[in-house]
Amino acid sequence: MAVSLVYGRDRLEESTVSSGYLKTMELSIRLYEEFREEFGSVKCHDIRKKLFGRSSNLRVEEDRRRFVEVGAYGPLGCPQVVRKATMLAAKIILESIH
């Protein structure tokens, strides 16, 4: 969303002729690839498995409880993933401006 906010289309136009759309896609693909390299996947299920040794079905109360107990909301859990994604997006945007 941040990349699109900076480079996205100003008006509805055909994607293939929109320089904003094309730039957004170029940078978004780069962000996707760098994030995947960092975490091994872009899927929450896979990332939780990597970070916590298993994935949880967060619709099941017992799994939600264990998710919290393993530190998912602590500084090395989900906030770390969001922080890293935000930092990658900011880095890519700033590099593209210069």
Give residue 8's pLDDT.
Answer: 80
Residues of the chain under the 70 pLDDT cut = 15
Alpha-carbon span 13 to 28, nearest angstrom: 19
Structural domain tally of the chain? Answer: 1
Count of helices and strands (H, E) across the chain = 5, 0
Tokens of 16: 């293939």
Q: What is the pLDDT of residues 39-65, one digit of tens each?
A: 999 999 999 999 999 888 999 999 999
Give residue 12's pLDDT.
Answer: 75
- Which range of residues forms the domain containing residue 74? 2-97
Residue 56 sits at the vertex; the CA angle it makes with 52 and 61, to the nearest 5 degrees, is 125
Whether the CB-CB separation of 85 and 65 falls below 8 Å is answered with no
